[in-house]
């Protein structure tokens, strides 16, 4: 995600985080002059164009069960793709392992070159730091890139966007922080400053607002991590603390549940009547395989296409689908433990038979050499192979194009 706006008022030229006047009254420190980020803990971020009045992502934006709350995300043009993402993003716990951080400021920032890597260090303008108390890498800073995207239907003006440099993926289920320091300059070339609420937090206090205590608790892990990273807390003018999720593990766990609960059925196996017994290195069998299907609706899923999770944690079976399957085994004596098996996954618009027939292409524009596909190569080394028709390929959805599975019009199903 990317959007912009996260600035609030100025840096504290503090006489003390909060002091007492001579008459015993509490005196809030005055706001310093300068460009600062929005750090609003007492406004409704879902209200009109206030989504970026607090940094994003943040664990303060998770609901009680750890799911992201994206209410108020700016989508002025009702872009269907963004709407689709907003529908599915809150269905997974935690934040992305390839995140983008957003900070909205109250005045324009200086230009930033998004192609320039920002190396981590005490003088970096922005940082991405592991702040997890249980992490073996606590205090490790990751190279970043940053930019100030122009205002549009999705982001407001004066937004700073920060991300890990391409190629860096964060660990799942770990807490990190995007950090902005006074090395960042505004459009006038002056260092940005901390808004009062963040300055109070940084100096050990609890900011005002309903979320003040929660913010103080969340940011406790940041300060020691900064010290480990060699960054002076006094130079930090904005930060957001967030915990990554683990969608890969969630999907793997769901897959394990499905495999344990269901069996697939292979039927009508026979030697391919075309040339199944004629290959010099292997024998080719063809048949059908029946798969349980869990997506609602019907292919190609212009509508529906989602899982309905039952009380047992399993997706509810919607129907069954029969697909062609090709199996090969080497023309040699089978080992005592059976032939090792390689599963072939065809590509866009591919067929179940390509494990056999997608051979060498002798010249540009020529057809692949039939019978010399992966099965031919692997049989020489004692491997069997198997390939079946994948969802929304032409064998399972007649007339399907090579990109029919790329369902960008229904991102909930595409996921």
Q: What is the pLDDT of residues 156-213, one digit of tens each?
A: 999 999 999 999 999 999 999 999 999 999 999 999 999 999 999 999 999 998 999 9
Cβ partners under 8 Å of residue 61, min gap 6: 45, 54, 68, 69, 70
Report the share of the chain in percent with pLDDT over 90: 82
Output b/e per residue, 281-311; b: 16+ Cβ within 10 A.
bbbbbbbbbebbebbbeebbbeeebbbeeee
> Is residue 28 scored above 80 in pLDDT?
no
pLDDT at residue 32, as a whole number: 53
> Is residue 139 scored above 70 in pLDDT?
yes
What's the pLDDT band for 342 if we cut at 50, 70, 90?
A: very high
Give tens-digit pLDDT for 250-289.
999 999 999 999 999 999 999 999 999 999 999 999 999 9
pLDDT at residue 11, as a whole number: 30
Residue with the bigger pLDDT between 177 and 47: it is 177
Rounded Cα–Cα distance for residues 35 and 103 (Å):
12
Reading the block at residue 131, the tokens are 């702040």
> Is residue 25 scored above 70 in pLDDT?
no
What's the pLDDT band for 408 if we cut at 50, 70, 90?
A: confident
Nearest-CA neighbor of 8 among 74, 101, 107, 146?
Answer: 107
Average pLDDT of every residue of the chain: 91
Taking the CA atoms of residue 136, residue 142, residue 148 and residue 154 in that order, the dihedral angle to the nearest 10 degrees is -50
Cβ partners under 8 Å of residue 236, min gap 6: 179, 180, 181, 194, 202, 226
Model pTM score: 0.83
pLDDT at residue 34, as a whole number: 93
Mean pLDDT is lowest, of 122-131, 154-163, 234-243, 395-404, for 395-404
What's the pLDDT band for 31 if we cut at 50, 70, 90?
A: low
> Is residue 2 scored above 60 in pLDDT?
no
> Is residue 128 scored above 80 in pLDDT?
yes
The ranges assigned to domains in the chain are: 19-245, 248-414
Average pLDDT over residues 117-129: 98
pLDDT at residue 95, as a whole number: 98
Average pLDDT over residues 364-370: 94
Cross-strand partners of 162 = 101, 146
pLDDT at residue 56, as a whole number: 98
> Is residue 236 scored above 50 in pLDDT?
yes
Residue with the bigger pLDDT between 139 and 403: it is 139
Residue with the bigger pLDDT between 27 and 13: it is 27
Rounded Cα–Cα distance for residues 53 and 40 (Å):
6
């Amino acid at each position: 995600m990317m959007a912009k706006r996260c600035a609030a008022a100025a840096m504290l030229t503090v006489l003390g985080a909060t002091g007492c006047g001579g008459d015993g009254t509490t005196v809030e420190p005055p706001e310093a002059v300068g460009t600062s980020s929005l750090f609003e803990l007492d406004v409704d971020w879902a209200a009109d164009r206030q989504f970026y009045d607090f940094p994003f992502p943040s664990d303060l934006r998770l609901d009680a069960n750890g799911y992201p709350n994206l209410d108020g995300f700016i989508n002025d043009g009702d872009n269907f793709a963004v709407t689709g993402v907003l529908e599915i993003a809150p269905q997974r716990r935690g934040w992305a392992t390839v995140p983008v951080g957003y900070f909205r400021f109250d005045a324009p920032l200086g230009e930033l070159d998004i192609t320039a890597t920002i190396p981590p260090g005490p003088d970096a303008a922005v940082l991405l730091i592991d702040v997890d108390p249980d992490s073996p890498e606590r205090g490790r800073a990751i190279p970043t890139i940053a930019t100030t995207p122009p205002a549009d239907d999705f982001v407001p003006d004066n937004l700073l966007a920060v991300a890990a440099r391409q190629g860096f993926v964060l660990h799942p289920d770990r807490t990190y922080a995007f950090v902005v320091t006074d090395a960042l300059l505004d459009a006038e070339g002056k260092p940005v400053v901390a808004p009062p609420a963040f300055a109070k937090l940084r100096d050990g206090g609890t900011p005002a607002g309903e979320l003040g205590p929660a913010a103080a608790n969340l940011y406790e892990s940041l300060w020691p991590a900064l010290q480990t990273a060699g960054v002076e807390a006094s130079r930090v003018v904005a930060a957001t603390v967030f915990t990554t999720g683990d969608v890969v593990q969630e999907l793997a766990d769901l897959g394990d549940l499905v495999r344990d609960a269901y069996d697939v059925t292979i039927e009508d196996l026979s030697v391919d009547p075309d040339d199944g017994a004629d290959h010099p290195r292997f024998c080719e069998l063809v048949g059908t395989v029946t798969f349980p299907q869990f997506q609602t609706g019907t292919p190609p899923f212009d509508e529906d296409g989602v899982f309905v999770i039952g009380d047992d944690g399993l997706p509810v079976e919607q129907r069954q689908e029969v697909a062609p399957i090709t199996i090969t085994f080497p023309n040699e004596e089978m080992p005592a433990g059976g032939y090792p098996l390689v599963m072939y996954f065809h590509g866009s618009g591919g067929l179940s038979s390509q494990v056999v027939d997608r051979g060498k292409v002798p010249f540009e524009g020529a057809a692949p050499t039939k019978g010399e596909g992966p099965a031919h190569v692997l049989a020489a080394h004692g491997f069997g192979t198997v390939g079946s028709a994948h969802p929304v390929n032409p064998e399972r959805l007649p007339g399907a194009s090579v990109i029919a599975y790329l369902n960008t019009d229904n991102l909930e199903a595409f996921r």
